[in-house]
Amino acid sequence: MNLLLVSPLLIPLAAAAVNLLLWKRTCAQRNVSLASTAALLAVSVYLLAAVAGGGIRATSLGAWPAPYGIALVADLFSAIMLVLSGLMGFTVCLYSVAGLGGQRERYGYYPLLNVMLLGVNGAFLTGDMFNLYVWFEVLLIASFVLLALGGGRAQMEGTLKYVTLNLMSSALFLSAAGLLYGSLGTLNIADLALRLREAPGPLATVLAMLFLTSLTGLALLLLRATPAMGLLLALHLGVVFAFFLTMPYGRFVHGLYRFAALVRYARERRRLAEAEPGSA
């Protein structure tokens, strides 16, 4: 196992666990979080230098081979994103120490911040599509709690909208992952890059548009309170429109008819069961 690749996950995970043990000691939580985010930034910069000088780094957790094991892969793009994640985490932690109210800190702010960084780093390093979904959910669940921290009315209202949008995007993402596995037999990103070249053109287009719909929806969710929301909303709606344009009409209509047939079959079975003598 490549310890350098696992470190961006172990550092925030360990920091979150230590902060939970120091639940009533807010000052100690601040120090632990500052130290962990600084260490995360340093490790990310070192990993970027290693990837830039020696090429792509990869490892499998538990020594299980792909596509069965959990693969972690760092290329130049993911290493750059890890550095940006570490920089943002350290900056946010500094700002939180200086400007966050003590009441919110006592609700578990620092453990949640580290869990969210764990999910972000896992999403950048994962080597398969299912674990990409898992890491997305880790960071989103932590962000839900951070958004609702304090329990104000505006916060709870925003959190409910946030969760609703996330459920829709997650359902689309899982649907695309299921279609990928059913069609190509793998969710490993390296295997997918090879097998998609042999996939039929319409199938590859539909899968790509389904993933783009879910990813732009998640990006809209994460950046909904920023100036980029207008641009992301236009991009998301454009991708959704393109998705319906590229979906094969025959398969779409067949799916609707198949769903209606299953509903009718279930109703008829229920009616027959109720009409049988001796039924309650």
Confidence of residue 43 (pLDDT cuts 50, 70, 90): very high
**Report for 4-13, 158-167, 206-215: range of highest mean pLDDT:** 4-13
In the predicted structure, residue 35 carries a pLDDT above the cut 90 = yes
117 and 37 Cβ atoms separated by less than 8 Å: yes
Phi, psi of 248 (to 5 degrees): -60, 125
47 and 30 Cβ atoms separated by less than 8 Å: no
What pLDDT was estimated at residue 199? Answer: 62
Distances in Å between the Cα of 241 and the Cα atoms of 107, 208, 213, 224 are 42, 13, 9, 20
Confidence of residue 48 (pLDDT cuts 50, 70, 90): very high
Range from 41-45, 56-60, 215-219, 252-256 carrying the lowest mean pLDDT: 252-256
Report the b/e string of 52-80 with b at 16+ CB within 10 A.
Answer: eeeeebbbbeeeeebbebbbbbbeeebbe
pTM higher than 0.75 for the full model?
no
Among residues 233, 222, 131, 213, the alpha carbon closest in space to that of 173 is found at 213
CA–CA dist 278, 258 (Å, integer): 32
Instruction: Provide the residue ranges of all domains of the chain, joining segments of one domain with +.
Output: 1-127, 151-247, 250-280
CA–CA dist 167, 141 (Å, integer): 11
pLDDT in tens, 105-157: 777 888 988 999 999 999 898 888 888 888 888 888 888 888 777 767 777 77
